């Protein structure tokens, strides 16, 4: 372990997390954290390399995080390696079960009234009456996160943690703000290296950069409120407005599958990410960010159609929330 750097951070959730174990019961588990590390490591990698060279990215990712599929990997003596263990070690203490069984309804159901925010943003894990399909990890719960990695990867892994602190969410429906992460002892990153003109980023089929336009980073912040429930209420209203802007014909461009829409094919998470953030004691706000990319399910849609849709959504988000022009 003397060639490894060891880091210990207190991690807590700012909104309930739908993490499941083998029995689909809410539980702290390391695999989702490993997946989150890999996802934001790719963004950190693309900030210093050509994002079009995805083969190189996949090779370096496999060598660092482990693989059972990579061709062309070799050990230090030159012999081929057909499988490799991860060099990034992750431990959570303590391991415990989630106990949250219901989410207080943020808006009581009523005839003609839109679905409550926890149902709209948590469809699937959350049932109609605010009950959870499986126990969740409640907001405010935390654990000790222990990480170790080779010293030569110190820079990339530190940048990865900073990105997770800023944008990371975990578990079911995490793109909608559930399972929002706060890492103690991590400073917010300078986002300049991770920004790329969104039209250029849209030409790649993997999320590798946060978009920007002439006004700055495509990151928006809601007003502050006193609890996470208020943030989710606001994010739900914004998500509904975004879906309404797209309409039924263009919805498959944003994310797939789309409920009751036969045109949606395959599976594609939204380019937009939502997160609950903490501004201080008793102060929370929502963050919306655009990770532009075009995976295969919508690659056949004309580029002009995709560009026009995202331009409309950017204008809508400018009306709905405050743009962080400098990415901070």
Tell me what pLDDT residue 328 has: 56
Q: Taking the CB of residue 56, how many other CB atoms lie within 10 A of it?
A: 12
The whole-number average pLDDT for the span 289-299 is: 87
Q: What does the chain come to in residues?
A: 328
8 A C-beta contact, residue 60 and residue 87: no
- Distance in angstroms (rounded) separating the CA atoms of residues 308 and 310: 6
The whole-number average pLDDT for the span 22-38 is: 80
Tell me what pLDDT residue 170 has: 93
Q: Taking the CB of residue 172, how many other CB atoms lie within 10 A of it?
A: 21
Tell me what pLDDT residue 326 has: 59
The whole-number average pLDDT for the span 220-232 is: 93
**pLDDT at position 209 over 80:** yes
The single residue listed with the structure tokens 């431990």 is 91
Give the rounded percent of residues in the chain with a pLDDT score beyond 70: 82
Q: Give the model confidence (pLDDT) of 255-273 as tens digits.
A: 766 555 444 455 667 899 9
**pLDDT at position 241 over 80:** yes
User: Highest mean pLDDT: which of 130-134, 235-239, 245-249?
Assistant: 235-239
**pLDDT at position 53 over 60:** yes
Tokens of 142: 């935390």
**pLDDT at position 26 over 90:** no
Helix then strand then coil, in percent of the chain rounded to 5, is 35, 25, 40
**pLDDT at position 327 over 80:** no
DSSP of 297-325, one letter per residue? HHHTS-HHHHHHHHHHHHHHHHHHSEE-T
Tell me what pLDDT residue 24 has: 53
The whole-number average pLDDT for the span 220-230 is: 94
Confidence of residue 172 (pLDDT cuts 50, 70, 90): confident
Tell me what pLDDT residue 262 has: 47
Q: Give the model confidence (pLDDT) of 11-24 as tens digits.
A: 999 999 988 765 55
234 CB-side CA count, 13 A: 25
Q: Give the model confidence (pLDDT) of 72-120 as tens digits.
A: 666 766 666 677 789 999 998 876 777 778 876 555 444 444 556 666 7
- Distance in angstroms (rounded) separating the CA atoms of residues 228 and 178: 10
Domains of the chain as residue ranges with CATH: 1-96+141-187 (3.30.70), 190-328 (no CATH)
| Global confidence as pTM | 0.89
Q: How far is CA 41 from CA 6, 114, 253, 303, in A?
A: 17, 38, 26, 28
- Distance in angstroms (rounded) separating the CA atoms of residues 192 and 253: 27
8 A C-beta contact, residue 276 and residue 232: yes
Tell me what pLDDT residue 19 has: 84
Mean pLDDT taken over the chain: 85
Tell me what pLDDT residue 133 has: 78
The whole-number average pLDDT for the span 232-238 is: 92
Give the rounded percent of residues in the chain with a pLDDT score beyond 90: 52
Q: Are strands 89-93 and 142-150 parallel, antiparallel or unpaired?
A: antiparallel
Tell me what pLDDT residue 111 has: 41
Check residues 66 and 292 and name the one with the higher pLDDT.
292
- Distance in angstroms (rounded) separating the CA atoms of residues 40 and 56: 16
Check residues 325 and 180 and name the one with the higher pLDDT.
180
Tell me what pLDDT residue 11 has: 93
Which of 76-80, 164-168, 292-296 is the least confident region? 76-80
Confidence of residue 166 (pLDDT cuts 50, 70, 90): very high
């Amino acid at each position: 372990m003397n060639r490894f750097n060891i880091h210990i951070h207190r991690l807590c959730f700012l909104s309930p997390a739908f993490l499941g174990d083998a029995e689909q019961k809410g539980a702290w588990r390391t695999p989702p954290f490993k997946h989150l590390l890999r996802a934001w490591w790719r963004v950190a990698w693309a900030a210093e390399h050509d994002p079009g060279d995805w083969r190189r990215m996949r090779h370096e990712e496999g060598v660092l995080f482990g693989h059972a599929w990579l061709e062309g990997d070799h050990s230090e003596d030159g012999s081929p390696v057909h499988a490799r263990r991860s060099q990034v070690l992750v431990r959570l203490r303590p391991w415990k079960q989630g106990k949250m069984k219901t989410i207080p309804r943020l808006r009581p159901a009523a005839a003609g009234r839109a679905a409550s925010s926890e149902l709209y943003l948590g469809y699937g894990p959350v049932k109609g009456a605010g009950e959870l399909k499986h126990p969740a990890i409640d907001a405010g719960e935390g654990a000790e996160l222990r990480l170790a990695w080779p010293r030569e990867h110190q820079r990339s892994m530190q940048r990865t943690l900073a990105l997770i602190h800023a944008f990371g969410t975990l578990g079911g429906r995490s793109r909608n703000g559930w399972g929002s992460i706060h890492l103690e002892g991590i400073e917010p990153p300078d986002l300049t290296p991770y920004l790329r003109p969104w039209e250029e980023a849209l030409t790649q089929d993997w999320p590798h950069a946060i978009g920007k336009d002439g006004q700055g980073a495509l990151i928006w912040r809601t007003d502050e409120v006193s609890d996470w429930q208020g943030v989710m209420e606001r994010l739900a209203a914004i998500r509904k407005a975004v879906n309404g802007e797209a309409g039924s014909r263009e919805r498959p461009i944003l994310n797939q599958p789309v409920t009751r829409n036969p045109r949606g094919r395959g599976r594609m998470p939204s380019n937009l990410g939502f997160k609950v953030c903490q501004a201080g004691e008793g102060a929370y706000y929502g963050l919306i960010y655009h990770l532009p990319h075009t995976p295969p399910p919508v690659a056949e849609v004309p580029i002009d159609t995709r560009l026009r849709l995202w331009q409309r959504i950017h204008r809508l988000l400018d009306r709905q929330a405050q743009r962080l022009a400098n990415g901070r």
